Structure 1
Amino acid sequence: MKRKKLPKQKGKGMTILCMETTCKKEFSWTHKIVNEKITQPTCKLSGKKISTCKHLSKHRYRVRVHIPGTSKRLARKILNSTTYEMALIEAIEFRTEFMEDLTGQTSSTHEKVYLNYLVAAQIEYLNFLRNINVPEHERKNRTEKHIKEQKKCLKLFNESLTKNKVNKRTITLEKITPQHVGYFHSYLINDLEYANSTYNKKMSSLSTFFGWAIDKYSVEGKNPFTKVQNRSSFVDKDSITKKEFDSLLNIIKPENGTVTSKSKKRAFQRNLYRPYLKDALRLALHTGGRREEIVALRWNMIKELDNKPAFIHINNFKVERMAGEATKDKVKPKIFPITAGLMQILNDLGYKNNINSSNYILCPDRDDLSTATIMDLISKGFNHYYKQLNTGRRLLFKCLRKTYLTYLDIAVNGDTKTLSSHSTDDILKKHYIDEKIVSSAVKNLNIFEE
């Protein structure tokens, strides 16, 4: 039986444990040079060199991870791999999953010599997305939802490899070929039966990962995903009708809000009704804003023209995240023209008492609520209540934005993009805001021709 060894520059927390019942000795090293002689640790049972142990078949690699917030407590795992290289990859996976479960963040400590293995590179990529060990000028503010989606895509790719008897832990980036892409293609279409639009997103995510990895680790060869062809997909442009929207608002009541949710352990009931849900949907319909924009609206974002409320000026959060910290100040903001319909909503929510204040327009008392929680409740609330209309259609919250943009484009004769301008208030008014277009939108934009 070939004995297990630990290199001099071993991975953090890597040890060897003797599983013999009467021994249970743990070794943090297996050989070193002392006075120009090779020295080995001794066996607990025989007192002789570890290489002479009679129980080499019971030696296992083990990893120890320090538990944050404690002085000496450790989490340990006996690894299945019989070679040090594969045990190291398994240890990295364990450390990453353990830290993610414990703190919500992945570990930033990795053994660089083995990062060209697929799984280890995937772990490092997720760290990159979270800006761990990324230079400040290269950082981008990505949502946790986006990162989780990328993690899911990587997991699906690994599942496709496993299905085709490819060991995800032993394969390196250099060995990924178009054949493996073909496995992924078949897995998405035949096994998971994904729609074309979902297929395209998954393929795009993997292509982005491999593009990053090739650059990061100077991998020879081209990105194996470059020849993937996008599958034709139908873009859902369904908007909501006045009848549907009015009916939707009418059924948003506490007694209609109960829904059964399922977790890994049990099913439970929750109520999706919230007092601010109707106002959120009305604001979304009359501004065309995304969820995070609606939730972030404050009264001092309202700007005037000729001493009258004319538009709401808000940062374009989505594009700013894509641009990164270094260039986000150059991203054009969003402009929401204040139409008669929107002004009515603002008045209903207390415009006169909140002029120029920094209070939130929607749900101002949110001490115990995060932005993410409110966003989640808005979209889930819309979906839940709309289903109860039984229209035969499947509309999502984003249909309100589509409805607004459709009417806005008609109102401003195709100049919709002009309302996404730029920069500070002074520059905004002097150089970017076309008052004629804002006035045109304010005058002509009537959602549902109210």
Structure 2
Amino acid sequence: MKILKYKKFAGLHIVCKKCGRHIEVSQTTYKGCIHPLDRQKYKAVFKANGVRKTRDLKSLDYDDAIRELLDFKEELANPIQFISKPQKVEVKIELLKDCIMMFGDWLENVDVPNHQKRPRTNGYIKTTLQYLVRFSKFLEDNKFDLNKFKIYDLNDVIVGKYYDYLDETCKMASTHNHNTKALKNFNNFLINHKGFNVPNYFGKIKLKYESMNPTSIKDDDFKKLLDAISNKDSITIYPDGRRKNEYRPYTRDAIELVAYTGMRIEETMVLKYSDIVLDYDGNVQHLVGTDLKFERAHNWNNTKAPKKVMIPTSIELENLLNRLEYKKYLGSDKYLIADDYDISRKTLKTQISHSFTFFRKKAGLSDDFSIKHLRKTFLTKLHTKTGFIESLGYQRSAKVTLNNYIDKVQVVKEINRIGFGYFSE
């Protein structure tokens, strides 16, 4: 694999904009990046006042990149001096492939003023760019030269053919819509943030209707899953021979906590003993969680009070908290799950998700549900047994909850169980 010219220089790296890896020393060290040269950029990385500062350098020439790096370093050392420095005239980018790379930089907040920056996960950025690369590949397959294809060459005919292509290749409406939304955001970026005088072709596309049919996990299936969680026969063997133990001492506790709180996995993994609230008699009244998905979308700049979720206490949740010795750690800043382990919450979330899938298969259960269905199961039970689901803050609105999380079949079964008649008392 060919990479940009590189000589060791303090703060200088080469990053692949396709996979985000630093590749200046050895590709094998960084898990085998195989992406082409035109996806690479020089990158400056420094520490200023204890904070990591980075900047993607514009030049692809080594000497010019070094000059940019030194300017950036001086800017960090003298931030006020550089405020009054006249801005360079921006070179107008017109090629579609260059516009996509520019969009990628914007998503990563590269050279974006602080007041316009938005936090985005690496997963979101990666998948968004993959949808745009898919569109580029479609153009290439239809004999368009990407080295000449400009953003001004887009038209309704091309967009219409791509829409038909998505119709043929996307099995689910949600997949079709994810592709379309990425292109809509890209088009809006060019028009609203970069001032391109181009029609909003993708804005004319109507999203497909997504028929929601939430399902929940049967009680017996969940019990079988829990019984399968042990350190016996817990090794995954990958095709390349790698072995991974899917069991940890906290695996079952973590999966049960997701089930009994109804929170998303990442929200569950950050619950602490200090989030437990007792009543006047000293019994567990509820836990206080945070709707992280809402926070990222509507409170990303932390200008509002966090959206809290009041998690009711079930018999199962109280039993779990007793196993976790909540009375011993009550009020402390310790995580309920894996606090004593050197593991990030993000890694823990992924680990628990993978373990759930492994032990579901080990229990011989079908693959039509994942750990995410634990939330649907909890909210369905809460809805059918109490009717108080709207007031606890699990979703932004009752409509979102009813459409996306409530298993209608289970609602019918519960109605039948308690008895329903037009005239019966």
For 2:140, the aligned partner's letter is T
Q: Is the 8 A contact 2:271 2:289 kept in 1?
A: yes
Give the corresponding residue for 2:130: 152
Matches within 5 A, 1:5-404: 64=5, 69=10, 93-95=39-41, 107=56, 109=58, 112-190=90-168, 192-262=169-239, 266-306=240-280, 307-327=282-302, 329-367=304-342, 369-404=343-378
Partner amino acid, structure 2, of 1:116: E
- Taking a change above 3 Å as real, the CA distance of residues 258 and 163 of structure 1, as seen in their structure-2 partners, is same
Say whether 1:416 aligns with 2:393: no
Give distance in 1, aligned partners of 2:153 and 2:7. 34
1:237 alignment partner, SS class: coil
CA deviation vs aligned residue, 1:143-163 (integer Å, no higher than 9, x gap): 211111112112111111111
Give the 3 Å change call, closer, same or farther, for CA 255–151 of structure 1 in structure 2.
farther
SS of 1:113's partner is coil
Gapped regions of structure 2 (runs ≥ 5): 16-22, 25-35, 46-51, 60-88, 396-416, 418-425
3-state SS in 2 of match to 1:310: strand
Aligned CA distance change for structure 1 residues 401 and 345 (closer, same or farther; 3 Å):
same
CA shift at 1:137, angstroms? 2.5
Of stretches 271-280 and 327-336 in structure 1, the one that deviates more from structure 2 is: 327-336
- Preserved CA contact (<8 Å) 1:65 1:95: no
CA separation of 1:227 and 1:303: change in aligned 2, threshold 3 A: same
- 2:109 touches 2:118 (CA, 8 Å); kept in 1? yes
- Tell me the alpha carbon deviations over residues 365-408 of structure 1, each in whole angstroms, 9 at most, x when there is no partner: 122x1112111111111112212333444211100000001111
Distance in 1 separating the partners of 2:214 and 2:318 = 27
The share of aligned pairs that are identical, in percent, is 24
* Whole-Å separation in 2 of the counterparts to 1:344 and 1:118: 57
* 2: CA distance, partners of 1:421 / 1:391: 28
Answer yes or no: is the 8 Å Cα contact 1:196–1:232 preserved in 2.
yes
What is the rounded CA distance, in whole Å, between the counterparts of 2:359 and 2:157 in structure 1? 45
Give the secondary-structure state (helix, strand or coil) at the position aligned to 1:374.
helix
Matched to 2:173, the amino acid is: N
- In structure 2, distance between residues paired with 1:99 and 1:199: 37
Contact 1:299-1:360 within 8 A present in 2 as well: yes
The AA in structure 1 aligned to 2:187 is F
In the alignment, which residue of structure 1 is the partner of 2:76? Answer: none
* Gap change, CA 1:185 and 1:65, over 3 Å in 2: farther
Aligned partner of residue 329 in structure 1, secondary structure: coil
Kindly state the Cα deviation for residue 130 of structure 1 after the two structures are TM-superposed. 2.0
Secondary structure of the structure 2 residue equivalent to 1:314: strand
Q: CA deviation at 1:204?
A: 1.2
With normalisation by structure 1, the TM-score equals 0.67
Asked if the contact 2:14/2:41 (under 8 Å) is kept, the reply is no
Paired residue secondary structure (2:128): helix
1:256 Cα offset (Å): 3.0
> Structure 2: how far apart are the matches of 1:107 and 1:66?
17
With over 3 angstroms needed to count, the CA separation of the structure-2 counterparts of 1:275 and 1:136, relative to structure 1, is same
Q: Distance in 2 between matches of 1:72 and 1:132?
A: 16
Matched residue SS, 1:259: strand
Cα deviations by residue, 1:206-230 (Å, 9 ceiling, x for unpaired): 2112112221222224321123233
Q: Which moved more, 1:267-276 or 1:202-211?
A: 267-276
Deviation at 1:324, TM superposition (A): 4.8
Could you tell me how far 1:188 is from its partner in structure 2?
3.5
CA RMSD of aligned residues (A): 3.4
- Count of equivalent residues: 341
Counterpart contact for 2:14–2:40, Cα < 8 Å: no
- 1:111-160 deviation line (CA, Å, top 9, x unaligned): 93143332222222222222222222232222211111112112111111
Check whether the contact 2:229–2:252 (CA below 8 A) recurs between aligned residues.
yes
- 1:435-446 matches, within 5 Å, as none
Question: Which deviates more, 340-349 or 125-134?
Answer: 125-134
What is the SS of the residue equivalent to 2:301? Answer: coil
Structure 2 CA distance for partners of 1:203 and 1:284, relative to 1, 3 Å: same
Using the TM superposition, name which of 339-348 and 327-336 deviates more: 327-336
Residues 183, 301 of structure 1: alpha-carbon distance in 2 compared, 3 angstrom cutoff: same
Q: CA separation of 1:180/1:260 partners in 2, compared to 1, >3 Å: closer, same or farther?
A: farther
Distance 2:44 2:172 in 1: 34
